């Protein structure tokens, strides 16, 4: 009788334990499925960025950077990523590596599709390339932020241009050019400022704008690993912030603000990332 009672007790214990294990496994499976779906959505959002540039239901005001991660599961890295951009670059803390390859750009005098997408003014490229750290990258597009997103020694610049590239392995690299205020207009910027209403797309012929002139023959830069500065905030992006700066006039800056408004993401923690420079 006692043996029979113990058998029943053991059987009931086994059933309860087995049910708990199944529940735990089911919870783990659900969690895993959620993670897989999120990663797939992040990949989709990243691929959409590569094709279209910045887009989506977000902005820099009422749907600003502090809310991005809550707007789409694909944007989770915007708040949880550990290598996010932009950053405040402390020059004295960056290490000098003279062996870093010099930057070589082959931006062609080509036609560009230009759009004010509501987040920035973006120029979509076709046939321009750059050699970055010994690897060839294709220029996807370039666009502008005002004020600058990256800072040098705590100081923002009034304007920053991002030249977004992709290599054959689908890794991204961004060349950043900062601008200072000058008394005279920068003629390179004038074709960019000739239009723009949100959603407007126009074609700019090759002789209208030559992006290589923004970089002149510059080869000195600060290099670090970061992310896209807009959703989905994908990480693993190589950043090269040029040491030399370009210029624009106060009236040109005013025009940029009229077209785009302020469209900069605040700086994020460097979080022990090494900052390297070749000068």
Residues marked as catalytic: 119
State the Cα–Cα distance between residues 240 and 41, nearest whole angstrom: 28
Token pair of 234 as six digits: 């994908």
Strand boundaries in 212-260, DSSP class E: 221-227, 235-242, 246-249
CA 260 vs. chain centroid, Å, equals 18
Structure tokens at 119: 């987040």
Cα separation, 249 vs 204, in Å, equals 22
Furthest C-alpha separation in the chain: 102
Q: Distances from the Cα of 102 to the Cαs of 40, 99, 117, in angstroms?
A: 36, 9, 33
CA 90 to chain centre: 20
Instruction: Kindly compute the dihedral angle of the four CA atoms of residues 76, 77, 82, 88, in this order, to the nearest 10 degrees.
Output: -120
DSSP three-state, residue 20 = helix
Residue where the block lists tokens 């990480």: 235
Question: Distance (Å, rounded) from C-alpha 279 to C-alpha 242?
Answer: 11
């Amino acid at each position: 009788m006692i043996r029979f009672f113990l058998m029943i007790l053991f059987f009931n214990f086994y059933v309860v334990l087995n049910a708990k294990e199944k529940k735990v496994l089911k919870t783990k499976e659900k969690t895993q499925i959620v993670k897989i779906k999120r990663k797939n959505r992040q990949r989709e959002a990243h691929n959409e960025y590569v094709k279209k540039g910045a887009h989506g239901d977000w902005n820099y005001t009422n749907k600003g950077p502090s809310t991005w991660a809550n707007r789409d599961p694909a944007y989770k890295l915007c708040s949880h990523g550990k290598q996010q951009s932009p950053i405040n670059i402390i020059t004295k803390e960056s290490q000098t590596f003279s062996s870093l390859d010099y930057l070589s750009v082959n931006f062609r005098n080509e036609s560009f599709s230009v759009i004010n997408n509501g987040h920035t003014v973006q120029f979509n490229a076709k046939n321009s390339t750059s050699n970055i750290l010994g690897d060839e990258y294709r220029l996807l597009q370039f666009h502008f932020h005002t004020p600058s997103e990256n800072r040098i020694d705590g100081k923002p610049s009034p304007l920053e241009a991002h030249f977004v590239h992709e290599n054959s392995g689908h890794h991204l690299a961004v060349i950043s050019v900062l601008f200072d205020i000058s008394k005279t207009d920068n003629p390179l910027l004038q074709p960019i400022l000739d239009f723009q209403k949100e959603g407007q797309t126009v074609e700019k012929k090759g002789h209208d704008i030559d992006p290589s002139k923004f970089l002149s023959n510059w080869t000195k830069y600060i290099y670090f690993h970061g992310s896209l500065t807009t959703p989905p905030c994908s990480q693993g992006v190589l950043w090269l912030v040029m040491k030399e700066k370009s210029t624009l006039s106060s009236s040109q800056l005013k025009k940029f603000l009229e077209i785009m408004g302020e469209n900069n993401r605040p700086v994020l923690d460097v979080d022990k990332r090494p900052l390297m420079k070749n000068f």
